[in-house]
Amino acid sequence: MAVHEILKMGDPRLLRVAQPVLAFDTDALHLLVSDLLDTMHAASGAGLAAPQIGVDLQVVIFGTDSVNPRYPDAPPVPRTVLVNPVITALGLKDGAVPLQVEDWEGCLSVPGLRAKVPRFERIRYAGFDQFGDPIERTVDGFHARVVQHECDHLIGLLYPMRVRDFSHFGFTSVLFPGLDAPQDD
Ligand code: NI
Protein backbone atom coordinates (compact mmCIF):
# COMPACT_ATOMS: atom_id res chain seq x y z
CA MET A 1 0.00 0.00 0.00
CA ALA A 2 1.37 3.36 -0.97
CA VAL A 3 0.44 6.85 -1.99
CA HIS A 4 1.90 7.48 -5.45
CA GLU A 5 2.77 10.67 -7.27
CA ILE A 6 -0.07 11.65 -9.63
CA LEU A 7 1.22 12.41 -13.13
CA LYS A 8 0.32 15.83 -14.45
CA MET A 9 -0.88 16.90 -17.91
CA GLY A 10 2.09 17.07 -20.24
CA ASP A 11 3.44 13.70 -19.16
CA PRO A 12 3.30 11.44 -22.24
CA ARG A 13 2.27 8.46 -20.08
CA LEU A 14 -1.16 10.12 -19.74
CA LEU A 15 -1.63 9.98 -23.52
CA ARG A 16 -1.31 6.22 -23.99
CA VAL A 17 -4.14 3.82 -24.79
CA ALA A 18 -3.98 1.50 -21.77
CA GLN A 19 -3.59 -2.26 -22.04
CA PRO A 20 -6.37 -4.63 -20.94
CA VAL A 21 -5.93 -6.61 -17.72
CA LEU A 22 -5.48 -10.28 -18.65
CA ALA A 23 -5.43 -11.93 -15.18
CA PHE A 24 -7.78 -11.18 -12.27
CA ASP A 25 -7.49 -11.77 -8.52
CA THR A 26 -3.70 -11.59 -8.65
CA ASP A 27 -1.39 -10.07 -6.05
CA ALA A 28 -0.24 -7.50 -8.62
CA LEU A 29 -3.78 -6.36 -9.42
CA HIS A 30 -4.80 -6.19 -5.74
CA LEU A 31 -1.68 -4.12 -5.01
CA LEU A 32 -2.49 -1.75 -7.88
CA VAL A 33 -6.06 -1.27 -6.60
CA SER A 34 -4.80 -0.69 -3.07
CA ASP A 35 -2.30 1.91 -4.31
CA LEU A 36 -4.97 3.65 -6.40
CA LEU A 37 -7.32 3.83 -3.39
CA ASP A 38 -4.59 5.18 -1.10
CA THR A 39 -3.56 7.77 -3.68
CA MET A 40 -7.16 8.85 -4.43
CA HIS A 41 -8.01 9.22 -0.73
CA ALA A 42 -4.84 11.20 -0.02
CA ALA A 43 -5.82 13.63 -2.80
CA SER A 44 -9.56 13.73 -1.90
CA GLY A 45 -10.34 12.66 -5.45
CA ALA A 46 -13.66 11.30 -6.74
CA GLY A 47 -11.84 8.92 -9.04
CA LEU A 48 -8.43 7.84 -10.27
CA ALA A 49 -7.19 5.85 -13.24
CA ALA A 50 -4.12 3.61 -13.34
CA PRO A 51 -2.38 5.71 -16.03
CA GLN A 52 -2.42 8.65 -13.59
CA ILE A 53 0.11 6.78 -11.44
CA GLY A 54 2.04 5.64 -14.50
CA VAL A 55 0.52 2.15 -14.79
CA ASP A 56 -0.47 1.27 -18.36
CA LEU A 57 -3.53 -0.87 -17.55
CA GLN A 58 -7.29 -0.50 -17.96
CA VAL A 59 -8.12 -0.03 -14.27
CA VAL A 60 -10.09 2.85 -12.74
CA ILE A 61 -11.54 3.49 -9.31
CA PHE A 62 -14.20 6.00 -8.36
CA GLY A 63 -16.79 6.72 -5.74
CA THR A 64 -17.81 9.09 -3.00
CA ASP A 65 -19.59 7.50 -0.03
CA SER A 66 -19.98 10.83 1.66
CA VAL A 67 -19.60 14.46 0.74
CA ASN A 68 -16.33 15.05 -1.07
CA PRO A 69 -14.76 18.45 -0.27
CA ARG A 70 -13.81 18.87 -3.94
CA TYR A 71 -17.41 18.22 -5.10
CA PRO A 72 -19.64 19.30 -2.19
CA ASP A 73 -22.85 19.33 -4.23
CA ALA A 74 -22.34 15.96 -5.90
CA PRO A 75 -24.63 13.03 -5.08
CA PRO A 76 -22.89 9.91 -3.71
CA VAL A 77 -21.47 7.44 -6.21
CA PRO A 78 -20.80 3.86 -5.04
CA ARG A 79 -17.15 3.02 -4.46
CA THR A 80 -16.20 0.96 -7.48
CA VAL A 81 -13.16 -0.77 -8.94
CA LEU A 82 -13.70 -1.10 -12.69
CA VAL A 83 -11.36 -3.12 -14.92
CA ASN A 84 -11.47 -3.33 -18.75
CA PRO A 85 -14.51 -1.03 -18.95
CA VAL A 86 -16.81 -0.57 -21.92
CA ILE A 87 -19.18 2.42 -22.04
CA THR A 88 -22.32 2.67 -24.17
CA ALA A 89 -24.13 6.01 -24.52
CA LEU A 90 -27.89 5.69 -24.04
CA GLY A 91 -30.83 7.88 -24.96
CA LEU A 92 -33.00 9.16 -22.13
CA LYS A 93 -35.77 6.95 -23.55
CA ASP A 94 -35.48 3.78 -25.61
CA GLY A 95 -34.60 4.71 -29.16
CA ALA A 96 -33.79 8.34 -28.35
CA VAL A 97 -30.52 9.95 -29.39
CA PRO A 98 -28.02 10.10 -26.49
CA LEU A 99 -27.97 13.56 -24.93
CA GLN A 100 -24.77 15.35 -23.92
CA VAL A 101 -24.80 17.88 -21.10
CA GLU A 102 -22.10 20.24 -19.84
CA ASP A 103 -21.05 20.46 -16.22
CA TRP A 104 -17.95 21.33 -14.22
CA GLU A 105 -15.05 18.89 -13.91
CA GLY A 106 -11.62 18.91 -12.41
CA CYS A 107 -8.84 16.35 -12.57
CA LEU A 108 -6.01 15.46 -10.22
CA SER A 109 -3.70 15.48 -13.27
CA VAL A 110 -4.78 19.06 -14.12
CA PRO A 111 -4.41 20.69 -10.71
CA GLY A 112 -6.06 23.99 -9.84
CA LEU A 113 -8.35 24.17 -12.89
CA ARG A 114 -11.98 23.43 -13.73
CA ALA A 115 -13.97 23.45 -16.96
CA LYS A 116 -17.45 22.69 -18.22
CA VAL A 117 -17.16 19.44 -20.12
CA PRO A 118 -19.80 17.80 -22.36
CA ARG A 119 -20.63 14.22 -21.35
CA PHE A 120 -23.41 11.76 -22.10
CA GLU A 121 -26.20 12.20 -19.56
CA ARG A 122 -27.03 8.49 -19.46
CA ILE A 123 -24.75 5.50 -20.08
CA ARG A 124 -24.42 1.80 -19.53
CA TYR A 125 -21.01 0.64 -18.37
CA ALA A 126 -19.68 -2.86 -18.13
CA GLY A 127 -16.44 -4.39 -16.94
CA PHE A 128 -15.08 -6.43 -14.06
CA ASP A 129 -13.97 -5.88 -10.50
CA GLN A 130 -10.48 -6.90 -9.39
CA PHE A 131 -11.69 -10.44 -8.66
CA GLY A 132 -13.02 -10.88 -12.20
CA ASP A 133 -16.69 -10.58 -11.21
CA PRO A 134 -18.70 -8.76 -13.88
CA ILE A 135 -20.12 -5.28 -13.30
CA GLU A 136 -22.90 -3.82 -15.44
CA ARG A 137 -24.80 -0.66 -14.53
CA THR A 138 -27.04 1.90 -16.19
CA VAL A 139 -26.45 5.32 -14.62
CA ASP A 140 -26.98 9.00 -15.27
CA GLY A 141 -25.92 12.44 -14.09
CA PHE A 142 -22.80 12.81 -11.93
CA HIS A 143 -22.22 9.05 -11.73
CA ALA A 144 -22.23 8.83 -15.55
CA ARG A 145 -19.91 11.86 -15.73
CA VAL A 146 -17.36 10.41 -13.31
CA VAL A 147 -17.23 7.10 -15.20
CA GLN A 148 -16.75 8.85 -18.56
CA HIS A 149 -14.01 11.07 -17.11
CA GLU A 150 -12.10 8.14 -15.57
CA CYS A 151 -12.46 5.89 -18.62
CA ASP A 152 -11.16 8.71 -20.84
CA HIS A 153 -7.87 8.35 -18.95
CA LEU A 154 -7.65 4.82 -20.40
CA ILE A 155 -7.70 6.13 -23.97
CA GLY A 156 -5.24 8.97 -23.41
CA LEU A 157 -7.82 11.76 -23.04
CA LEU A 158 -7.77 14.46 -20.36
CA TYR A 159 -10.89 16.58 -19.85
CA PRO A 160 -9.44 19.77 -21.46
CA MET A 161 -9.35 17.77 -24.72
CA ARG A 162 -13.18 17.49 -24.49
CA VAL A 163 -13.89 21.18 -23.75
CA ARG A 164 -15.88 22.98 -26.45
CA ASP A 165 -16.42 26.40 -24.83
CA PHE A 166 -13.21 27.75 -23.30
CA SER A 167 -15.08 30.66 -21.72
CA HIS A 168 -15.97 28.04 -19.09
CA PHE A 169 -12.40 27.04 -18.23
CA GLY A 170 -10.43 28.58 -15.40
CA PHE A 171 -8.80 28.38 -12.02
CA THR A 172 -10.85 26.73 -9.26
CA SER A 173 -9.86 29.45 -6.79
CA VAL A 174 -11.29 32.12 -9.11
CA LEU A 175 -14.35 30.24 -10.38
CA PHE A 176 -15.35 28.88 -6.96
CA PRO A 177 -13.76 31.16 -4.35
CA GLY A 178 -15.81 29.67 -1.50
CA LEU A 179 -15.04 26.04 -2.32
CA ASP A 180 -13.20 24.23 0.45
CA ALA A 181 -10.84 22.45 -1.91
CA PRO A 182 -7.12 21.85 -1.68
CA GLN A 183 -5.12 24.42 -3.62
CA ASP A 184 -3.64 21.73 -5.82
CA ASP A 185 -6.86 19.99 -6.82
NI1 NI B 1 -8.95 12.86 -14.16
At CA 130, angle to CA 124 and CA 132, rounded to 5? 75
| Tens-digit pLDDT string for the chain (185 aa) | 699 999 999 999 999 999 999 999 999 999 999 999 999 999 999 999 999 999 999 999 999 866 666 666 777 899 999 999 999 999 998 889 999 999 999 999 999 999 999 999 999 999 999 999 999 999 999 999 999 999 999 999 999 999 999 999 999 999 999 876 544 44
Give 94 Cα–ligand 1 centroid separation in angstroms: 30
CA distances from 29 to 1, 58, 82, 109, 167 (A): 12, 11, 12, 22, 41
Q: What's the distance, CA 13 to chain centroid?
A: 16
Give 111 Cα–ligand 1 centroid separation in angstroms: 10
Give 95 Cα–ligand 1 centroid separation in angstroms: 31
Catalytic residues: 150
pTM for the full predicted model: 0.93
User: In terms of C-beta density within 10 A (0-12 exposed, 13-18 middle, 19 or more buried), how is residue 173 classed?
Assistant: middle
30 phi, psi to nearest 5 deg: -65, -35
Domains detected in the chain = 12-175 (3.90.45.10)
